[in-house]
Amino acid sequence: MKEDFNITYKALFRKYYPNLIFYATRLVGKEEAEDVVQDVFVELWKRKDSMEIGEQIQAFLYRAVYTRALNVLKHRNIESGYVAIVEEINQQRVEFYQPDNNEVIRRIEDRELRTEIYSAINELPDKCKEVFILSYLHDMKNREIADVMGVSLRTVEAHMYKALKYLRSRLDYLIVLLILFFVK
């Protein structure tokens, strides 16, 4: 019985293999067609003890190739769906952690910038620091500062000039960020 199956199996393989490859190629493409057909013949070989090969074998082989091809297509869809989801998650991760879009990072940068600026402001001489703080942080005009401090307008302007000159040199590398900071 086993010898008969081997002969029959080889004959079936030679007779149907090329047409099944053609059929599977139409379903799953050239790359996976051969695997699909070979899987069908392997399954047929595994069932050799329980399978009766008769007139229905051609229909069985085509149906088996069709079913196996559907499984390949379903698996391909699952893989591509998974890949798409992973790509979307990675894209969202990149966007979330992109410094321009991330509020936490922006706050950290603002805090670091603010610390650097306040450190430079605190290095100013007392009168320059007071004039600068009243002008830029309290948004007061030079005339108002002069009145509050009890000094001349010219003295306020001199302190502002001295403060700005010092801060420009001290914060030279931050000048663009400094402008943005005060614009906010």
Rounded percentage of the chain residues whose pLDDT exceeds 70: 84
Q: At 65, which helix (H) or strand (E)?
A: helix 57-97
Q: List the one residue out of 120, 162, 128 whose CA is nearest residue 145.
A: 128
Radius of gyration in angstroms for the set of CA atoms belonging to the chain, rounded to a whole number: 40
Mean pLDDT of 75-86: 86
Distance CA 48, CA 6 (A): 9
Mean pLDDT of 59-76: 92
Residues 30/34/35/39 CA torsion (nearest 10 deg): 140
For the full predicted model, state whether its pTM sits above 0.75.
no
Q: What is the pLDDT of residue 94?
A: 74
Domains of the chain, first to last: 2-96 (1.10.1740.10), 103-183 (1.10.10.10)
Q: What band does 104 get if pLDDT is binned at 50, 70 and 90?
A: low
Q: What is the pLDDT of residue 181?
A: 54
Q: What is the pLDDT of residue 49?
A: 78
pLDDT in tens, 150-163: 999 999 999 999 98
pLDDT in tens, 107-156: 666 777 778 878 888 899 999 999 988 988 888 899 999 999 999 999 99
Q: Can you state the angle between helices 57-97 and 2-28, rounded to 10 degrees?
A: 40
Q: What is the pLDDT of residue 105?
A: 60
pLDDT in tens, 19-39: 999 999 999 999 999 999 999
Q: What is the pLDDT of residue 1?
A: 44
